[in-house]
Amino acid sequence: MIVLAMILGILIAIYLGISVYAAYTLTRIGDHEQYSNTPETFGVEYEDVRFKAKYDGTQIAAWYIPNEASSQAIIMVHGHGASKQNAISGNYPKLAASLSKAGFAVLMIDMRGHGDSEGERNSFGVYERWDVLGAVGWLAEKGFFPADIGILGLSIGGAASIGAVYEEPGINTLIVESTYADLHPVIKEKWHEESGLPDFFIPGVALMIRLMYGYNVFELKPVDTYANFNS
Query: Using 50, 70 and 90 to split pLDDT, how confident is the model at 230?
Result: low
pLDDT at position 30 is 79
Backbone angles phi, psi at 62, to 5 degrees: -155, 160
What confidence tens digit (pLDDT) does each residue in 69-122 have?
Answer: 899 999 999 999 999 999 999 999 999 999 999 999 999 999 999 999 999 999
Which residues are CB-contacts of 223 (< 8 A; sequence separation ≥ 6)?
A: 181, 182
Q: Is the pLDDT of residue 184 over 80?
A: yes
Query: Using 50, 70 and 90 to split pLDDT, how confident is the model at 32?
Result: confident
CA distance 157 to 174: 12
Q: Where along the chain do its domains lie?
A: 1-30+181-231, 32-179
Question: Does the pTM of the predicted model rise above 0.85?
Answer: yes
**SS3 at position 73:** strand
**SS3 at position 40:** helix
Q: Is the pLDDT of residue 15 over 60?
A: yes
Report, as an integer, the average pLDDT of 56-65: 98
Q: How many CA atoms lie within 13 A of 226 on its CB side?
A: 17
CATH code assigned to 32-179: 3.40.50.1820
Query: Cβ atoms within 10 A of the Cβ of 114, count?
Result: 27
